[in-house]
A and B are shown apart, each in its own frame.
Chain A
């Protein structure tokens, strides 16, 4: 049974950087047929996919166009976790952020972290 445990701050100042980490248990971040996503949810934008990473002989990262210039997804295979950095935050980035496992064979988002409510405010 895979579990995703998120950690990171709940309050970030405008123009600063958000860093969130997702620790994986019950699966491997390097497993073929899995991908690791970040998705956020807000009343104004609904559920919005941000980024994903996966391994197929080499690592691939994909990003949403809306945040591509200010987002990075990183991996730590030794700790079996992945992380999100979102730069130059504005109040519009206030949202509930989720890390999500994707079963690539079935193309389904089947396991979600508990969510981290991030507020961007001074």
Chain B
């Protein structure tokens, strides 16, 4: 199985901050990398697919980059509604595997 490792596990930030979350795959996955946002009591929501393509309706402040084994999710200007947990997921091959999550908290 492909292991996905996110960092940091949590971070504290203020509204308006630029935030970056990284995800590393245990082998090359090209750009088969997706990012999800999850809020308490809700299912994960797809934000970014194929490493850098935004899902319809996702605010432009969310962007993704990377290829191979190293990927980044960037929030350009953190908004109050962005405080949540973020997960990366590889779609290179079954079994789909996820990172352990990065919790973004209010400073």
Contacts and interface: CB of A to CB of B under 8 A. Distances in A.
B23 to A, nearest CB: 13
A114 B41 CA distance: 9
Residue of B46, B94, B96, B97 with highest tally of chain A CB at under 10 A: B96
Interface of chain B: mostly helix, strand, loop or mixed: loop
A87 interface: no
A55 interface: no
B87 interface: yes
A107 B89 contact: no
Interface in B28-43: 32, 34, 36, 43
Contact of A46 (B34, B49, B98): B98
B65 interface: no
Nearest to B36: A109
B50 interface: yes
Given A46-B101, A47-B87, A47-B89, A108 B46 contact: yes
Contacts of B94: 49, 52, 62
Contacts, number: 50
Contacts of A48: 98
A109 B95 contact: no
Interface residues of B, number: 20
A46 B6 CA distance: 12
Contacts of B44: 47, 98, 109, 112
- Most interface-central of A64, A108, A112, A115 (chain B CB within 10 A): A108
Nearest to A37: B96
A97 B1 CA distance: 21
A88 to B, nearest CB: 20
Given A62-B94, A107-B32, A108-B50, 16 more contacts: A46-B100, A46-B101, A47-B44, A47-B101, A49-B97, A49-B98, A64-B95, A98-B43, A98-B44, A106-B50, A107-B49, A107-B50, A108-B55, A109-B96, A112-B43, A115-B43
Q: Give the 4 A-B CB pairs with smallest separation, nearest first.
A: A112-B43, A107-B91, A47-B98, A108-B49
